Structure 1
Amino acid sequence: MAALIWGLAGCGLFQKSWWQTQFTNPAQQTNPIVADLVTNINSSQSSIHVAAFEFNLDSIAEALIAAKKRGVDVKWVTDDEYGLAEDKDPGHGQFAQLKRAGIPVKADNRPDLMHNKFIIFDNQIVWTGSTNLTINGTQRNNNNAILLNSPELAVIFEREFAEMWAGQFGPSSPSTVDLQQVTVNGTPVQVLFAPEDKVSSKLLPLINNAKSSIRFMAFSFTHEQLGAAMLSRAKAGVDVQGIFETNGSETQYSELPKFYCAGMPVRQDSNPSAFHHKVIVIDNNTVITGSYNFSNNADRRNDENVVILNNSEIAKDYLSEFNTRWAESRQPAKTRMKCR
């Protein structure tokens, strides 16, 4: 893991390494992700813009309110149903706290989901991944997060945030996909937003061009074209392995039975809460992560974000997480697969 060293540098944050990965540890119910986010919030000097699906973390709310009091521009975009509506439920109320402190919160107000998970600090640092800002997301579910120090990437995410803040959600929101590729310290990075960027059409060539290996961790994998591409690469001799979230993989739409019946090494997770990753690693080098489940809803209807990073060191971290979860996962029950 690349260590981050944070501090104040005139008008923003700095770090000795430009990226950091983090993974939840449900067995210990620890939340290093939250501790680091609080540190980053406390260090921010100009702006914190949050696009997050749901929320019930007191420490994050308290840190954001303190940031607002010292003059930081704090804004939050969330989902109307799973964000604002659930704020009235027991154990919630954090959005109400933000609003009382003068922090504006906006929701998508549409049937589909504002499912993004990203934060931009001081127009310089982007935090994203699969992690919802909840007790479940940070302590009980298997999740990942990545912190990226790049003003160029921050510009991309700020543009998307501004669109949502102006009320542009879903398929009608504008795509700026041609402006969403940068190179950071020698690492090519592409950012995609669903549904406007037609994410699956960008992921399919990456999968189809896999030469040696594909590893995936999936909360929901129901997208037939992505599944067919992985199955095709496996038949061509590429080493394809994946872990499915158990409950999600036992629906009639899951790609798990196809993979299992074709002899592909696939497993189901053993977390009694949820296996919430949305990760693909290709050829030990290309990492795909973000809020985007491998589903038609994510691709065509929900607001989602994806980052694609070509960096073998970052890939090592995600492969280490894969190997850890693979070791504790289990073979699917043959009787449920109904192979012909």
Structure 2
Amino acid sequence: MAQRLATFLDGATRTLDVAIYDLRLEESPANTLMNSFASAVKRGVVVRLMFNQDHAQTIPVPPPPEIDWGFVERLRAAGVSVKPVPGVPDLMHHKYVVRDGLSVLTGSTNWTNDSWNREENVMLTIESTEIAADFALNFQGLWDKPVVATSGHFSAPWRSLGDGTRVRPYFCPGRSLKLVHAMSRSIASAERRIRVCSPVITSGPILGSLAEACAAQKVDIAGVYDATQMDEVQHQWAANGGSAWKIGAFKSVIAAARWGAKRSTPYAVGSVHDFMHAKILVADEYVYVGSFNLSHSGESNAENVIQVESQAIADICASYIDRVAARYGGAALPVTP
């Protein structure tokens, strides 16, 4: 993973804008990225790094970042401009890079050793000046005013890539309601399959649409989540009368479809981070992928999601979700004759 990311960074000729939630690298991966950033600055590339500084939640869903300030200072000394974004009360949860205003790397992957070696994550690159401009607008807004609540307040249209694939970015919190309702509509209108891959599933509209789709039993539904984090969430729901209905909805969803559930290590400072961390929703030929957990709290965070309309990409993502689900107790994959 470090080498793939370094290769993307090494391709920069003018600018690199990085927004990352958790930055904590050790040994070889740290040196690999440090060399890429230092080389970029020496080539005259303007490099900016933005990251989440604090965490407000008492129960770690998502787990709080543990920023390596020593690494940040090494980057600053090498000529990288750095800016912490206060994560109180909501998180700067992005994980993306905009390169030269031409391409974007984004997904669910934090920049930590555990993220790259112990967690399930997804990363994608998009070559598009229009998509890069959308992400650059989001980045510049947070850079100029590092307040999560004011970010992402613009609508990006559908864009066509060079091969005809249609993609559309969403940014939260500004367009979080549009995002969750788009996801809910895709679930409700699916005719063949729904695949879900998320550490937690707590967004009311999404959970409700999944429950209705499961009850209707008209499409093939399966997925995977992080069992440890969902246990913590259900304790929260039980203590909150307004959210108690979600317990029954969630139980009905996991009882009616094929689900894998990763029993990850409970969060503690200094503990292993081995969460099921990928974030993907597939509904027929539509794919949603990015930093956004399918969560209520995610609606208030600074997040990004790419919606993709592509049968081929949907097939790839659905196959990935099925493999991860099978790894953690979901139904076995069908055997190809």
TM-score normalised according to structure 1 size: 0.81
Alignment of 1:71-110 (within 5 A): 71-81=44-54, 86-88=67-69, 93-110=70-87
Asked if 1:182 is matched to 2:162, the reply is no
Deviation track 1:105-159 (CA, whole Å, cap 9, x = no partner) reads 1122240210001101111111011100111111111101011111111011011
Distance 1:281 1:46 in 2: 35
Distance 2:201 2:115 in 1: 19
Distance 1:282 1:195 in 2: 23
Q: How many residues align?
A: 292
State the partner residue of 2:311: 312
State the partner residue of 1:50: 18
State the partner residue of 2:289: 289
Equivalent residues of 1:281, 1:287 under 8 A apart = yes
Of 191, 195, 202, 2:182 maps to 202
RMSD after superposition: 2.0
Of 201, 210, 213, 1:230 maps to 210
Deviation at 1:84, TM superposition (A): 8.8
Distance 2:151 2:197 in 1: 29
Distance 1:158 1:125 in 2: 10
Alignment of 1:137-176 (within 5 A): 137-173=115-151, 175-176=153-154
* SS in structure 2 at match of 1:215: strand
* SS in structure 2 at match of 1:86: coil
* SS in structure 2 at match of 1:154: helix
Asked if 1:267 is matched to 2:264, the reply is no
Q: Which amino acid aligns with 1:282?
A: A
Asked if 1:67 is matched to 2:45, the reply is no
Equivalent residues of 1:218, 1:294 under 8 A apart = yes
Equivalent residues of 1:156, 1:180 under 8 A apart = no
Equivalent residues of 1:120, 1:158 under 8 A apart = yes
Q: Which amino acid aligns with 2:73?
A: A
* SS in structure 1 at match of 2:224: strand
The percent identity for this pair of structures is 25
Equivalent residues of 2:105, 2:123 under 8 A apart = yes
* SS in structure 2 at match of 1:277: coil
Distance 1:205 1:278 in 2: 18
**Structure 2 gap segments, 5+ residues each:** 56-63, 238-246, 266-273, 332-337
Distance 1:117 1:192 in 2: 14
**Structure 1 gap segments, 5+ residues each:** 1-32, 333-340
Distance 1:102 1:183 in 2: 36
Q: Which moved more, 1:75-84 or 1:288-297?
A: 75-84
Distance 2:254 2:220 in 1: 14
Equivalent residues of 1:84, 1:107 under 8 A apart = no
State the partner residue of 1:247: 228
Distance 1:194 1:270 in 2: 29
State the partner residue of 1:4: none
Distance 1:325 1:181 in 2: 30
TM-score normalised according to structure 2 size: 0.81
Distance 2:142 2:150 in 1: 11
Asked if 1:34 is matched to 2:19, the reply is no
Equivalent residues of 2:17, 2:139 under 8 A apart = yes
Q: Which amino acid aligns with 2:253?
A: F
Deviation at 1:168, TM superposition (A): 4.7
Deviation at 1:225, TM superposition (A): 1.8
State the partner residue of 2:322: 323
Asked if 1:279 is matched to 2:280, the reply is yes
